[in-house]
Amino acid sequence: MNILILGGAGFIGTHLAAALLQLGHVVRIFDRPSTNLPAPIARHPRLDSVEGDILNLDEVDAALADMEFVYHLVSTTLPKSSNDNPEYDIETNLVVSVRLLEAARRRRIRKIVFLSSGGTVYGVPDVVPIPETHPCHPISSYGIVKLAIEKYLHLYRVLHGLDSCTIRLSNPFGEYQRIQSAQGAVGVFLHRAIHRQAIEIWGDGSVTRDYVYVGDVAEALVAMLDYQGREKTFNIGSGAGMNLNQIIGEIESVLGHGVARVYKPARRFDVPINVLDIGLARRELGWSPRTSFGEGLSRTAAWITATDAQSG
């Protein structure tokens, strides 16, 4: 199949592209200029890499030409920054996504898979683990916009027959995560620990999240291609919670040395706990995470060490 990955040179997109290519698909990556793909992916004969700006509708529309499936992985904001400028969040994520849906309708795209946020759309949970049926009361612009995009996907299914599925992802970690942009606690903590730098923790370290290895995330995204069932929204995570202090303990175990910690005041937008119920994905997709936190942490540590050696 011909598959377009919007944001395909990013953290998750890189792993997804590799998985799709391995399965024999033709993959087109659309991402910003100057984004670097690992050499085995960049040189693959079935990969087409297109540089462009998600804000430029003409460039996005051109990237959709001859495609059958689309993965929408792009976000211009992070949860911690989205509340600083909600207008920017709306203009560059929600409005852009609606324009994408219009273009996909015109191009007769068969299916769109959207990467939403299981960590933010639910808000403060009433029950844990959180099922897909849980009420959604996000407390960040990031989560509100993700939820709004989900609603527009539903609208386009009803009005125009444009098929789509949504993955509400927990907290992914692994190789190719953009540590320099403070993307993901696990990668940032691990990088600082490897370099014997203190780790900054917002609050007392009890904030609990659901962390899932990125290779398992890619497998879930691939499973969405052939899924023909009635469900349209899936939680994807590990199904288990881990707090920040426990993460640092695991890092110390993998690295074999202690890590300095600096505790700072808690942030208002951090919900105390977020752990996803992944039972629906198990039943409908036949998917469950295969990589333990410790194994994923070891792989990520090896990648960071190798990357630092190459750049240094």
Q: How confident is the model over 73-84, as pLDDT tens digits?
A: 999 999 888 999
When pLDDT is averaged across residues 67-93 and rounded to a whole number, the result is 95
- Cβ burial of 169 (10 Å; 0-12, 13-18, 19+) is buried
Task: Please say whether the beta carbons of 77 and 142 come within 8 A.
Answer: yes
CATH T-level topology, domain 2-171+212-237: Rossmann fold (3.40.50)
What is the band of 267 on the pLDDT scale with cuts at 50, 70, 90? confident
- Determine how β-strand 2-6 pairs with β-strand 242-243: unpaired
**Domains of the chain by residue range:** 2-171+212-237
- Is the model's pLDDT at 256 over the cut of 70? yes
- Is the model's pLDDT at 226 over the cut of 80? yes
Place of tokens 């996005």: 60
Which residues, 6+ apart, have CB-to-CB distance to 248 below 8 Å?
189, 193, 199, 201, 205, 259, 261
Looking at the DSSP assignment, which residues form a beta bridge with residue 208? 243, 273
When pLDDT is averaged across residues 56-65 and rounded to a whole number, the result is 98
59's tokens = 């460039």
When pLDDT is averaged across residues 167-192 and rounded to a whole number, the result is 89
213's tokens = 């290895």
- Is the model's pLDDT at 192 over the cut of 70? yes
Amino acid 34: pLDDT: 73
Amino acid 81: pLDDT: 87
Catalogue the active-site residues.
Answer: 142
Burial 97-133 (b: 16+ CB within 10 A, else e): bbebbebbeebebebbbbbbbbbbbbbebeeebbebe
* Mean pLDDT taken over the chain: 95
What is the band of 179 on the pLDDT scale with cuts at 50, 70, 90? confident
- Is the model's pLDDT at 165 over the cut of 90? yes
When pLDDT is averaged across residues 97-109 and rounded to a whole number, the result is 98
Amino acid 221: pLDDT: 98
Task: Please say whether the beta carbons of 165 and 233 come within 8 A.
Answer: yes
pTM: 0.95
Q: State whether residue 175 is helix, strand or coil.
A: coil
Amino acid 181: pLDDT: 65
> What percent of the chain lies above the pLDDT cut of 90?
90
| Residue with the larger pLDDT of the pair 134 and 267 | 134
Nearest to 269 by CA among 89, 92, 143: 143
- Is the model's pLDDT at 182 over the cut of 70? no
What is the band of 270 on the pLDDT scale with cuts at 50, 70, 90? confident
When pLDDT is averaged across residues 104-108 and rounded to a whole number, the result is 98
Nearest to 36 by CA among 9, 69, 66: 9
> What percent of the chain lies above the pLDDT cut of 70?
99
Nearest to 215 by CA among 249, 182, 172, 248: 172
